[in-house]
Amino acid sequence: MPQPRVLSQSDVLERIEACYGHQYGKELREQIERNAKETNGIDLSERLLESYRRRMNDLSIFIKELKGGFAQWYNRRHRRYGVLWAERFKSLLLEGGRAVATVAAYIDLNPIRAALCADPKDYRYCGYAEAVATGSEPALAGIRTILDLSETTSWKDLLSEYRKQLFGRGAAASSNNRPAFELDEARKVIEEQDGELSVQEQLRCRIRYFSDGVILGSRSFVEDHFYRLKEKIGYRRKSGPTALKMLGPVILWVFRNLRVRKFG
């Protein structure tokens, strides 16, 4: 958790709105505006915000409110009542290096051991799958921290190194868990594939997060159909094919740039 620091009133209100919603933040701002008309308005507003300030930088309070808010939403949606979470969350202080890598692999291998999927890249609710599918900076930064690699390391190297680590650790059994992967399967990923996914597999993973590009192929292929559309239906767009850069070196092009949109 970051160390507490002095926050301005606007910063506190911005965080409150982000956590509790626009309407809640709006009502709080209106209350502060009403306080400003009082002779001791500043003191009233500071006391009002002080309870929120004390709750910031506290992991226990954050998780408690996150779980509580989600449980309320879930109960309303499914017309149920009562507690949703069985136990209090677990907090573990980790040293960098091997400790972080071990816990990260344990988390990303959980869906494999639970038979939810056969490969961690296919479980859309884990950080590794997020990194493969969207290349998001927070997900890649997390993997960079896990592997203790520099910021100059390319995303391609990050993903291949982490994939090798996952399959290496997943092939080993423990007293509590059976192996997540057969030894031959792990050896294939680590030694033969060097932890890399084929272009087809990368694209398949990313299609879970992106809409169609309408036309997909080489630049000449997409360009040819682009001009056909212009001639046939009078398509007004001036620009041609868009390079599909999300797969690394440009080898595929699309007619329409992919848009972030989860489905399924």
Domain boundaries, the chain: 9-78, 98-206, 211-254
65-117 pLDDT tens trace: 889 989 999 999 999 988 898 888 777 777 778 888 888 888 899 999 889 99
Euclidean distance between CA atoms 231 and 171, whole angstroms: 56
Length of the chain: 264
Cα three-residue angle 3-53-14, rounded to 5 degrees: 95
Q: Got the DSSP string for 96-162?
A: TTHHHHHHHHHHHHHHHHTTS-SSGGG-TTSHHHHHHHH--HHHHHHHHHHHT--TTS-HHHHHHHH
254: enclosing H helix or E strand: strand 253-254
Q: What is the pTM of this model?
A: 0.62
153-211 pLDDT tens trace: 988 899 999 999 999 999 987 777 788 899 999 999 999 999 998 877 877 777 665 55
**Main-chain phi, psi angles of 253, to 5 degrees:** -130, 155
Euclidean distance between CA atoms 16 and 7, whole angstroms: 12
